[in-house]
Structure 1
Amino acid sequence: MLLNSQEVREVVESLLIATALLWGATPIIEKIGLARVDPLVGVTIRSFIVTVGLLLLTFLLGKGKELGSLDGKSILLFGLSGVMAGLLGMWTYYSALKVGATSKIVPIAASYPLVTTLLSVLILKEGVTFPRVIGTALIVIGIWLVK
């Protein structure tokens, strides 16, 4: 069944709303969980459950064969991404969330597009446009307002 462009937009919007609701509620659950758990242990539990879920989903959707045909560079890049975001980023985020106000920690942690924008210009040689400059400035202003 093929979707027309309006149906695709509606599906995408529904998925984005679901994503925002899931990601928006998750820090509250994490903050409550961190009351009695060390941040590193919390990341370990979260990552273990996510790993089991991903493996099940990957094989149930018939994508398991692709795992055996990955090239070394792809494995290295996704491995580095996992260490940076999934391990170190989550650990530092959980450590801050454990002791800080959720309403301050989450917006500042969610300012990572600022870093991505700067690195994409420097490393990927992506262009600098006026809307991107304004968007980046708004991120900085937002961080300043929540601190």
Structure 2
Amino acid sequence: MESFLFALLAAFIAGFAPFLEKIGLSSVEPTAAYLIRCSAVIVGAIIVISFTPSLVSMEKMETKSIFFLFLSGILTGFVGQLVFYKALKLGEISRIIPITSCYPLFTFILGWVFLGEAITLCKVLGMLLIVAGILLLRF
């Protein structure tokens, strides 16, 4: 139950943040907005590091883990965020967010192709709902 509540809180935060970003983007270019957002992330990271007594798990990380986490950060935290801000600045928040939230479709395909994850009826139905939602927003 605790994981469900954290997931629900994460979903709320993920839904609320673009609302704030759309308002913030009204008078600034996406690149400048991204720099402000990154500053907030850095401040948050410094605060967390300051109150974390030991980062022992980082000392034990394998190079492979560091590489893939770094690559993920570049893709989502840099490239993806800039592209997202451009879309958010140009489009309606009610149309942009559902489209950008279809990432589970791509995760499903990558998990199946590269990780050998099983395809189940439930997963396929979920992906079909995502595709239907995207098509409905397009028209």
Taking structure 1 as the reference length, the TM-score comes to 0.85
Cross-structure match for 2:22: 31
Query: How far does residue 63 in structure 1 lie from its aligned partner after superposition?
Result: 4.0
The correspondence for 2:123, drawn from 132, 140, 145, is 132
Deviates more, 1:68-77 or 1:118-127: 68-77
Q: Following the alignment from structure 1 to structure 2, what is the Cα–Cα distance between the partners of residues 86 and 123?
A: 23
Cross-structure match for 1:67: 58
Classify 1:105/1:63 alpha carbon distance in 2 versus 1 (closer, same or farther; 3 Å).
Answer: farther
Q: Per-residue CA shift, 1:32-71, capped at 9, x if unaligned?
A: 1111222122222212211221232134132434334433
Classify 1:38/1:63 alpha carbon distance in 2 versus 1 (closer, same or farther; 3 Å).
Answer: farther
| Structure 2 residue runs without a partner (length 5+) | none
RMSD: 1.6
Classify 1:36/1:70 alpha carbon distance in 2 versus 1 (closer, same or farther; 3 Å).
Answer: same
Cross-structure match for 2:49: 58
Cross-structure match for 1:6: none
Cross-structure match for 2:79: 88
Equivalent residue of 2:61, what SS?
A: coil
Q: Per-residue CA shift, 1:73-102, capped at 9, x if unaligned?
A: 122111100111111111100000001000
Matched residue type, 1:28: F
Classify 1:63/1:114 alpha carbon distance in 2 versus 1 (closer, same or farther; 3 Å).
Answer: farther
| Structure 1 residue runs without a partner (length 5+) | 1-8
Q: Following the alignment from structure 1 to structure 2, what is the Cα–Cα distance between the partners of residues 49 and 73?
A: 28
Q: How many residues align?
A: 138
